[in-house]
Structure 1
Amino acid sequence: MTDEEESITVWQPLREPVFRAMWTAALVSNVGTWMQNVGAAWLMTSLTTSALFVALVQTATTLPVVVVSLPAGAIGDIVDRRWLLLSIQVWMLVTAGLLGVLTATGQTTPWILLLLTFSLGFGTAFMNPTWQAIQPELVSRDELPAAISLGAVGFNIARAVGPAVGGLILAATGAATVFLLNALSFLAVLVVVYRWRREPSPSELPPERVSESIRRGVRFVRNDRGLRSVLARTLTFIFFASAIWALLPLLVRNQLGLGASGYGLVLGVTGLGSAAGITVLERARQRYTTNQVVLGASALFAAVLVVLGTVHVVAVALVAVAVGGIAWISVLSSLNTAVQTLSPEWVRARTLSVYMLFFLGGMAIGGLAWGAVADYLGTPETLVAAGAGLFVGLVGAIRWRFPVTDDLDLRPSAHWPDPETAFDPNPESGPVLVSVEYRIDPTTTAAFFDAMQELETVRRRNGARYWGVFRDTTTPDRYVEVYLTGTWMAHLREHERVSVADREIQERAASFHVGEGPPTVSHFVSEMDG
């Protein structure tokens, strides 16, 4: 890191007025959301004694991400992100208000609670990719890691305050008040986002269709080795770690013998641990790699699961959940930062939506699985099993290591010239075949192939359906790289989206060319139907 990057603290992005307003609004909304979570989970324990139904509250919160995450990311990269956020906040305000009214009038059943909790989860699934994708628009590039960590600080301050306040309100007035206050909390975000004057991203091309946008986003993630590593580690961690959030209400009620306010206290201590964990994380990042931080924090969280399953003393449980909060935020902040730093602006909402799909989808599936297991084994035994599983899952860290991103520059390079054409191709014509001709000294062939393997990754994640390098049988030093993309319009988008980091890889491959002038690029457009 440079001296300038080392001097940036986690609080520095708050000097930016727009970021400060957004952060504060998100804090208020998250407090309301955590109050909602406490109210919903505790209300379900009053409506039914089934561990499965109690666990389904978490599933209903997170399962919508499986349904809408990819479309949400695609839409977040296509439409005006400001108006999308406004629409989502209105949806969530109405849903939370309806749940509050139904609960106040005694009409909430377990299925109604799950349905409206699912509706709120639907809004969250649509909001999260876009909300996180706007962070680089609010701060400088050097401040981005600090801004992401600061977002985690706000989230976990809310986790500390929301459950405690929610538990007190729940004990004093009931779940209906908690739900109605959550509805009001969405107004904070509505006001701030409405006042934000966002600068639109310049592009001379029309927006993508949603289906095309989804395919491009999935293709980018599938062909990026760094993102694949992050997603594999995310799924491994969250599946086992979800046991604590699914079963904590039952642990508090049955093993610790606490009531609603006690449940709020336990979650509040967890949130305080997470907030304190940001300081621990900053120091850890200065001494250890991201891979080492995630590995150590995951092992620590596994130990917390085992302790909670075996020691049922309130004081010990409070210490354990505080430590768990530190481990939790260390893992999730590191994973989120990795996704954002590996994603260029044009596809960021989509890569984040895939990340949220793995993260919240893993929580939904894990919550369902651990709830079903707890109905047979019991809550303590299930927590121990989840902790043991997480320890075993850490073996995957040997293969799925995080890439170094300190020098990765994903800003648009704009170094590709417009394609030379003697006619105007139909934008929807395709597929499009692009060829690049190189002349290679036989003594550098091996190094050239190494460079081309890196270039293959760039071509495929930016949209290539097929890629290959061919050698001319009559002219042995002549090599032709070819790749196939969907349509002429899709290829034009590549010209806008190629990044500085992509350019460096392309220039390394081109450096082996020994012919006169740069490598020759040709474009061929299919105009045949079928």
Structure 2
Amino acid sequence: MRALRLPRLSSLRAFDHPGYLAVWMGALVSTIGTWMETVAMGVYVTQETGRAEWTGGIVALTFLPSVVLSPVGGALADRFDRRAYVALGTVVQLVLAGVLTLLAFTHQLSVPAVAVISLLHGCASTLINPAFSAMLAELVPPSDLHSAMSLNSAQFNLGRIIGPALAAMVLGVGGTSWALLVNTLSFVAVLVALSRVKVPPRDSAKTSNGLWKQIAHGISVARQDTDISLMLWGTLFIAALVAPFIGLVPVFAIREFGQGAAATSLLVTCQGAGAVTAALVVGTLVDRLGQRRLLAWLALSIGAVASLYWLAPSLQLAAVGIFVLGANYMMLMSGMHAFCQARVPRNLQARMSSLYSMVLGGGYAAGVWGQGALADRVGLRFVTVSFSILFLALVLTLRLLSPRALEGSEA
């Protein structure tokens, strides 16, 4: 009986560690607020401009800083106390959210203002995300790292379920300004959680090297490890070719189905529900298939799943499609992230996480803006389906040319 229960519960092992659970709960509250803001701003920009290029462009501005700042954030996280570093970044995010809220309440909100604050928020997030990921890794033993990364992604996607539902309700009752206010207050939960956590001490003796030398060392380690390089290249192509389905949800709901905030919230919620469901079973799948083999199958399937989502003829079928796509995407991306971190010592994990964030954010920024711009000219479905099929073709080509590349030895 026990042998049957362990695989089922393996996905939740990180919750056995109180520090991890406290941070997870605080982050969930903040994520709910963030998704309320995301839905509100996506609908606002799409309705104000009527262009997918602008909607994708605003989303891209949030992720564009990762191309430059992710390595810096990773190196800084390996030099300073990660808990204090994350707390400082959270305060900055709270202030930026407060400014956006104030603009909304005073009727001064505009698309350029949203763009500027999105860029600044992206800078802050980029600088603290590697430290946050590395801090989570410090709160669990190495054997529970995949569980910790998957549950962190589940937290993000559980917020994607609750946040849009609350956003639809708040937008209908109080309007954009109240949704933004809730997001501002949600950052307090992270600060409270951090105040209750003790991060285990780590060896920080060799931090006398310059910042740029630390960055260069992290890049060198990633380049020399062929498995890490493969995961980072895979992350880049997924981010650019497939992941824009996330940022273009408002355009899909409004343009293809003729609906607004309610349809946008439904699709975003269904994606989150798929991701949370996947987080509950991914540990069992890893136990049975092995991490590398599971990642290989997920990479093979995501292009086809994304194509079916974009081809859905009705909102109901699109909701089913994005549920499956959200599950596939969560398992694939969190698995590649965990794989990269597991292959390096703890004093390099923040820098490795920063490289992952750099290629993910850079690829996603280029992809969501580029696909949005092309969609305005040749059609949303044609563009998105074409890029999804292109990714599928790339994976099939890699599998044919190098059959062992995707299913190599386990980390």
What TM-score does the superposition give when structure 1 sets the normalisation length? 0.73
Aligned equivalent of 2:331: 330
Instruction: State whether structure 2 residue 385 is matched by structure 1 residue 404.
Output: no
> How many residue pairs are counted as aligned between the two chains?
404
State whether residues 96 and 182 of structure 1, in contact with CA within 8 Å, keep that contact through their aligned partners in structure 2.
yes
- 1:229·1:402 contact (CA, 8 Å) conserved in 2? no
**By how many angstroms is 1:256 displaced?**
1.5
Q: Which residue of 1 aligns with 2:94?
A: 93
> Structure 1 pair 356/98, CA: closer, same or farther in 2 (3 Å)?
same
* Cα offset, 1:18, TM superposition: 1.2
Select between 298-307 and 173-182 the one with higher mean Cα deviation.
298-307
C-alpha contact 1:295 1:394 (8 A) present in aligned 2: no
Q: CA deviation at 1:63?
A: 0.8
2:305 corresponds in structure 1 to 304
Give how far 1:297 is off: 2.4
- Report how far residue 405 of structure 1 moved: 4.1
Contact 2:71 2:215 in 1 (8 A): yes
Aligned to 1:271: 272
> Cα 1:351–1:113, aligned 2, differ >3 Å: closer, same or farther?
same
Alpha-carbon RMSD: 2.0
Whose Rg is larger?
1
* Aligned residue runs from structure 1 range 129-278, under 5 A: 129-278=130-279
1:23 corresponding residue in structure 2: 24
1:53 and 1:324 mapped to 2: Cα distance? 24
In the alignment, structure 2 segments of 5+ residues that lack a partner are: none
Deviation at residue 36 of structure 1 after TM alignment: 1.5
After superposition, the C-alpha distances for 1:500-526 in whole angstroms (9 at most, x for unaligned) are xxxxxxxxxxxxxxxxxxxxxxxxxxx
Cα distance between partner residues in 2 of 1:241 and 1:206: 38
2 CA distance for matches of 1:226 and 1:389? 23
1:206 Cα deviation (Å)? 4.9
State the alpha-carbon separation in 2 of the partners of residues 156 and 366 from structure 1.
Answer: 21
Kindly state the Cα deviation for residue 365 of structure 1 after the two structures are TM-superposed.
Answer: 0.7
Residue 71 in 1 paired to residue 76 in 2?
Answer: no
Amino acid in the other structure paired with 2:385? V
Q: Which moved more, 1:7-16 or 1:273-282?
A: 7-16
Contact 2:130/2:354, CA 8 A, preserved across alignment: yes
TM-score if structure 2 supplies the norm length?
A: 0.93
Which of 283-292 and 123-132 deviates more? 283-292
Contact kept in structure 2, 1:13 and 1:139, CA below 8 Å: yes
Aligned position for 1:379: 380
> Is the 2:83–2:199 Cα contact (8 Å) retained in structure 1?
yes
For structure 1, list consecutive stretches of 5 or more residues without a partner in the other structure: 407-530
Distance 1:357 1:402 in 2: 25
From the superposition, tell whether residues 383 and 105 of structure 1 become closer, same or farther in structure 2 (CA, over 3 Å). Answer: same
Q: Are the counterparts in 2 of residues 5 and 142 from structure 1 also a CA contact under 8 Å? A: no
RCO comparison, higher one (Cα < 8 Å, 6+): 2
Structure 2 CA distance for partners of 1:203 and 1:255, relative to 1, 3 Å: closer
- Any conservation in 2 of the 1:295–1:397 contact (CA below 8 Å)? no
What residue number does 1:369 align with? 370
For the 8 Å contact 1:309–1:383, the answer to whether it is kept is yes
Q: 1:402 & 1:232 partners in 2: Cα distance? A: 15
Secondary structure of 2:142's match? coil
1:216-249 Cα shifts (integer Å, max 9, x gaps): 1111111111210111111122211123123221
1:159 Cα deviation from its structure 2 partner:
1.3
Alpha carbons of 1:289 and 1:378: their partners in 2 closer, same or farther (altered >3 Å)?
Answer: same
Give the Cα separation in 1 of the matches to 2:204 and 2:72. 21
What is the rounded CA distance, in whole Å, between the counterparts of 2:325 and 2:243 in structure 1? Answer: 12
| 2-structure distance, mates of 1:296, 1:143 | 22
Partner of 1:12: 13
1:318 maps to amino acid: A
Partner amino acid, structure 2, of 1:77: D
Q: Which amino acid in the other structure matches residue 409 of structure 2?
A: V
DSSP 3-state at the match of 2:50: coil
Mapped to 2, the partners of 1:373 and 1:391 lie a distance apart of: 20
Counterpart of 2:297, as a letter, is G
Matches within 5 A, 1:307-318: 307-318=308-319
Distance 1:182 1:279 in 2: 27
User: How many Å separate the matches in 1 of 2:257 and 2:316?
Assistant: 10
Distance 1:385 1:7, change over 3 A: closer
CA deviation profile, 1:245-298 (whole Å, cap 9, x unmatched): 232211101212222122111110110011111234233323324343233323
- Describe the shift of the 1:258–1:221 C-alpha distance in structure 2 as closer, same or farther (beyond 3 A): same
Gap change, CA 1:144 and 1:43, over 3 Å in 2? same
In structure 2, C-alpha distance between the alignment counterparts of 1:31 and 1:397, rounded to whole Å? 38
